A = this chain, B = another copy of it.
Amino acid sequence: MPVEALDNELTEQRLFQLNEALNSGMFVHVRHMLHDMPASDVALILESSPPKTREVLWQLIEHNQAGSILEELGEELKDSFIMNMSPERVAKATAGMDTDDLAYVLRSLPDSIYQQVLQSMSSQDRLRVEHALSYPEDTAGSIMNNDTVTIRPDVTIDVILRYLRSRGSLPEATDTLYVVDRKDAFLGGIALSDLLTCDPNLSVKAVMNLDLEGIPVMMEDTDVAQLFERHDWISAPVISDNGKLLGRITIDDVVDIIREDAEHSMMGMAGMEDDADTFGPVLKSSFRRSMWLIINLFSAFLAASVSNMFEGTIEEFATLAILMTIVPSMGGVAGNQTLALVIRGIALGHIGKSNSRWLIGKELAIGFLNGVFWAAIVFGSVWMWRGDILLASLIAGAMLINMTVAGLSGAVIPIVLKKFNIDPALAGGMLLTTVTDVIGLFSFLGLATLFLMQ
């Protein structure tokens, strides 16, 4: 109940104390501090520390605590720790993990270590994880746990209550018991709250919820997340093609997917991988970002070669060079606004065949309206600044063209990319900027050549 203990300030304070203790070499003290913290807090501290501090801290963490901390870490950091652990330690650390997390860890191991870790596991864990590994990544199967509590339809609630009492405890985040027949076919579920409030003499069949929907095991995890969000589920059963109950998905894993998904869009649009580690080593970070920069360099040289086509015009009128960055810049911003809106709409499942044409039309209209408005503003500004009404008209015309194109391509690019199964958050921004840069420069310098060079 300590109210203050919930504040983020605390992490800040703990980080400070830990750093102090580390710097003065009080390793035993640090070890005690780490031991007394919940795994999620230790994970947060590791995520917030530079590489060197991380390594020292990781050494000081007790082996039996390692597994639960690994579960809470971001992907990139988790991978880097696992890579440096001995197969035995990995096996020990993962012994108590949820099946889905365990499968994740194994998936990220190099083949040689993978086999060794499997060998070091108890046969029960091995069976469990081999099952989970049989489903492809990013499907419902890969994030499901098999810790379901199942009951039969033809017993009374009273029998169930006595069974639960003899069982002694339930898996975490259990809010529903699942009803299956003799062949494990999924029939429905009973919420714990219903178990507690219904008449114990009724049969399971009479109380169970038949409307409970099972998630197909091969459904994409982002679709699973949308279902959870839409229906406010806490957990949901996962079923096979032939209706057998395979396991369940819990809201905590779904929250991770929602977070990752949303981050993916944001980081992707800025040309970063979504699991990029904020405090990762310099050289590695530098290398991983270069992909995006090389594409941008091509785009920039493409734009430069457009200007190059009009070298003669620029030579004669240097003022053009001064103003020529304005049109691409405005087009880029306007196009990116549309792009962000459409990418989010696609992620939320709002955009499909039936309405994408309407949406493209709407964004084209906004682009044109924006174009008229900003053409007028730019006309006024340039006229005032350079006192040249022809120049002002030229830039206004280019602005109208580029803003309209920006609106159109901001909507069309992500929808088309999606159709070809290319992630619009990753490729969309760069494609769009290339379009708005090229069209912006071409329309401005082209109009100028047409009207100034006679």
Interface residues of A (CB under 8 A from B): 1-3, 5-8, 11-12, 15-16, 19, 38, 40-41, 44, 47-50, 72, 161, 164-165, 167-170, 172-175, 186-188, 192-193, 195-200, 210, 212-216, 219, 223, 226-232, 234, 239, 241, 243, 251-252, 254-256, 258-259, 261-263, 265-267, 269-272, 276, 278-279, 282-283, 285-286, 289-290, 292-294, 296-297, 299-301, 303-304, 307-308, 311, 314-315, 318-326, 328-330, 333-334, 336-337, 339-345, 348-355, 358-359, 362, 365-366, 369-370, 373-374, 377-378, 381, 385, 437, 441
Contact = CB atoms under 8 A, between A and B. Distances in A.
Given A167-B197, A170-B197, A369-B283, A47 B239 contact: no
Contact of A6 (B164, B219, B378): B219
Nearest to A220: B8
B365 A186 contact: no
A381 B165 CA distance: 75
19 contacts: A3-B241, A7-B219, A38-B231, A44-B230, A165-B197, A167-B197, A192-B192, A192-B196, A258-B258, A265-B266, A276-B341, A279-B350, A279-B362, A282-B362, A282-B366, A285-B366, A294-B377, A303-B329, A329-B437
Given A271-B337, A314-B322, 13 more contacts: A1-B212, A1-B243, A6-B227, A7-B223, A47-B350, A48-B351, A170-B196, A175-B192, A228-B255, A263-B344, A282-B362, A289-B370, A303-B329
A83 to B, nearest CB: 21
Contacts of A311: 318-319, 322
A426 to B, nearest CB: 13
Contacts of A286: 366, 369-370, 373
A221 to B, nearest CB: 13
Contacts of A322: 304, 307-308, 311, 314
Nearest to A228: B255
Which residue, A231, A321, A366, has most C-beta atoms of chain B within 10 A?
A321
A199 B314 CA distance: 88
A307 B321 contact: yes
A342 B278 contact: yes
Contact of A196 (B44, B196, B349, B350): B196
B19 A289 contact: no
A177 to B, nearest CB: 9
Nearest to A385: B301
Contacts of A165: 196-200
A374 B195 contact: no
Nearest to A430: B333
Contact of A314 (B15, B40, B318): B318
Nearest to A175: B175
B326 A301 contact: yes
A43 to B, nearest CB: 8
A16 B354 contact: yes
A12 B262 contact: no
A207 B328 CA distance: 67
A290 B267 CA distance: 24
Given A255-B255, A270-B337, A355 B301 contact: no
B263 A333 contact: no
A169 B373 CA distance: 59
Contacts of A8: 223, 226, 349
A334 B15 CA distance: 30
A365 B72 contact: no
A196 B161 contact: yes
Contact of A341 (B172, B173, B219, B278): B278
Contacts of A72: 230
Given A213-B6, A370-B293, A12 B352 contact: yes
B279 A355 contact: yes
Nearest to A312: B318
A174 B232 CA distance: 12
Contacts of A329: 296, 299-300, 303, 437
